[in-house]
Chains A and B, each alone.
Chain A
Amino acid sequence: QKEVEQNSGPLSVPEGAIASLNCTYSDRGSQSFFWYRQYSGKSPELIMFIYSNGDKEDGRFTAQLNKASQYVSLLIRDSQPSDSATYLCAVHSGGGADGLTFGKGTHLIIQP
């Protein structure tokens, strides 16, 4: 059974600070990792994906992957109130067209 674990939160971060969201996964064969943002009542929106160990930066967002520890994280720099949302971690176990396994999400609140 493939599992993706996230702290449900809420995680409260002051505006302008760095928000750090974490995710662990159970399947060592996992190859691809994704972060989605979901506002209340809306569908998930892809923020970033990462395939290799290390860091990947895109604007204010940095994804970090450590396959040995089966751990992936998302850092949001200079957090804004508009970043308040639920962040979903998703994992693909490599090869084939099967779906992603999603964590249940972390609810992030950016306090003005």
Chain B
Amino acid sequence: DVKVTQSSRYLVKRTGEKVFLECVQDMDHENMFWYRQDPGLGLRLIYFSYDVKMKEKGDIPEGYSVSREKKERFSLILESASTNQTSMYLCASSLSPFGAYEQYFGPGTRLTVT
């Protein structure tokens, strides 16, 4: 059974703070993803990674960076949080870049920036 965990369910930060969101998967998946989900806009891909130390920009990377130092862990970093980054952040993983593209999601982190 795939297990994706995220470090926090709820987080409140102030404008300008540096924010770290952590994601861990326990199924030896190659690929990991960060999305944000907003009402009326749906799920949008921020960044993804297909291997350790590799990263690719998604559709909305501005204002974010990522880190993948270990296969099981993928971190999303908000260098200087802003109110428009208030959102639900969802981490996902999938098995392989060459098939088995189905993604499994963590429980999500609801981030509020004040």
A: residues with CB less than 8 A from B are 32, 34, 36, 42-46, 49, 88, 90, 92, 95-100, 102-105
Given known contacts A43-B90, A43-B105, A43-B106, is B42 in contact with A98 (CB within 8 Å)?
A: no
Selected contact of B48 from candidates A88, A98, A104, CB within 8 Å: A98
Complex contact A44–B105 (CB within 8 A) = yes
Roughly how many angstroms separate A60 CA and B41 CA in the complex, as a whole number? 29
Q: Taking CB as reference atom, which chain A residue is nearest B45? A: A99
Q: Which of B29-46 contact A (CB under 8 A)?
A: 30-31, 33, 35, 40-43, 45
Complex contact A104–B58 (CB within 8 A) = no
Q: Which of B92-114 contact A (CB under 8 A)?
A: 94, 97-98, 101-108
Selected contact of B41 from candidates A99, A100, A104, CB within 8 Å: A104
B50 at the interface (CB under 8 A from A): yes
Selected contact of B35 from candidates A46, A96, A99, A105, CB within 8 Å: A99
